[in-house]
Amino acid sequence: TRTPVNVTVTGAAGQIGYALLFRIASGHLLGADVPVKLRLLEIPQGLKAAEGTAMELDDCAFPLLKGIEITDDPNVGFDGANVALLVGARPRTKGMERGDLLSANGGIFKPQGKAINDNAADDIRVLVVGNPANTNALIAQAAAPDVPAERFTAMTRLDHNRAISQLAAKTGAAVSDIKRLTIWGNHSATQYPDIFHAEIAGKNAAEVVNDQAWLADTFIPTVAKRGAAIIEARGASSAASAANAAIDHVHTWVNGTAEGDWTSMGIPSDGSYGVPEGLISSFPVTCKDGKYEIVQGLDINEFSRTRIDASVQELAEERAAVRDLGLI
Ligand code: NDP
């Protein structure tokens, strides 16, 4: 029998956590034959609700679930962790300046990075979901000098999935026919969903769409502002789709991308496509044998260049701000 994989989820008592944990425990994160042990990390106020969720997890009698531990101590939460999903974060509240937001999150992600550094398993893989995800990932990474930098990633898979869905709706294609879509840059309103290299049933997506106005004025803003549209409609922020994307991100990272396709992940830049080294930015990546690689050699047209540069500029500003705050 296989040794269980230790999966740590922070913010486990939140909305996304609630949608995420049952799917991890039922085998969707790593595979239908991979047993898991869950560690739920919460702040003290969240512990009781996390216990309630753990009771429900018990009540599902998931065959793959080999244990649940609940804690508010990051050193315990990340002890032996193979996969860490950092969901809990300090949301931006009304009137909050960017500096306040970044420093509040620094107070969460810096100690978590250190606890990962000191306690996690050698093969630890980290996905940051809590916003501002890219920069929170950078903060955690900087606090974990003994962990290979590439193990810290940020989620842009929900943006990726949203873009596929919008493109399918526009063209009448099946989502499964859409390949090679890319989200570039920051998981924020400046993100750039790129269809110029995407394919719809083997044909170039930009040529199939053939509607530059739709691309600039409908597609890009719809994808970038989808979160706000969901809040408006549901009266609560997206949770199940965010959890689903987190599952997809880790599943693809561990189990690989399909032949001829790629995905989008926020990862430390190696300088590819003019993105300054070290920024955690979204790129087109292929995954194989548990490792990801940036897709190289794509031709970036002027329309794309301007948008990638704007989002990367925002990431550079966030990095400068957390440097000034002494968080990295
Ligand atoms: P959610 O579970 O709804 O969201 C958690 C985080 O995910 C937020 O930062 C949110 O950012 C982010 N996020 C990223 N992508 C999306 C998306 N597409 N849609 C929605 N959210 C997205 O928040 P809750 O308030 O329900 O729960 C947070 C939990 O985290 C609480 O239980 C709290 O106690 C816990 N927490 C735990 C910490 C810890 O373990 N140390 C630290 C801080 C909080 P955004 O706000 O920008 O939408």
Q: What is the ipTM of this complex?
A: 0.93
**Ligand 1 contacts CB of residue 228 (under 6 A):** no
Residue ranges of alpha helices (H) inside the chain are 15-25, 47-59, 74-77, 98-119, 133-142, 157-171, 205-209, 212-214, 220-224, 226-234, 240-255, 302-324
Average pLDDT over the chain, rounded to an integer? 97
* Tens digit of each residue's pLDDT (9 = 90 or more) over 15-67: 999 999 999 999 999 999 999 999 999 999 999 999 999 999 999 999 999 99
Predicted confidence at residue 93, as pLDDT, reads 84
pTM listed for this prediction: 0.97
Q: What is the CA radius of gyration of the chain?
A: 19
Catalytic residue among 160, 187, 197, 249: 187
Residue 137 belongs to what H/E stretch? Answer: helix 133-142
- Cα of 271 from ligand 1 centre, angstroms: 30
Number of the ligand 1 atom closest to the C-alpha atom of 88: 30
Residue whose CA lies nearest to ligand 1 atom number 31: 14
User: Across residues 291-303, what is the average pLDDT?
Assistant: 98
> Is the separation of the CB atoms in 86 and 135 below 8 Å?
no
Residue with tokens 């990962």: 116
CA-CA distances (angstroms) from residue 209 to 100, 176, 195?
42, 17, 9
> Is the separation of the CB atoms in 257 and 251 below 8 Å?
no
Residue 318 belongs to what H/E stretch? Answer: helix 302-324
CA distance 291 to 51: 34
CA distance 310 to 54: 42
Predicted confidence at residue 79, as pLDDT, reads 98
Predicted confidence at residue 240, as pLDDT, reads 98
User: Across residues 89-114, what is the average pLDDT?
Assistant: 92
Does residue 187 have an active-site annotation? yes
Predicted confidence at residue 2, as pLDDT, reads 87
* Tens digit of each residue's pLDDT (9 = 90 or more) over 194-246: 999 999 999 999 999 999 999 999 999 999 999 999 999 999 999 999 999 99
CA distance 170 to 159: 16
Predicted confidence at residue 265, as pLDDT, reads 98
Predicted confidence at residue 261, as pLDDT, reads 98
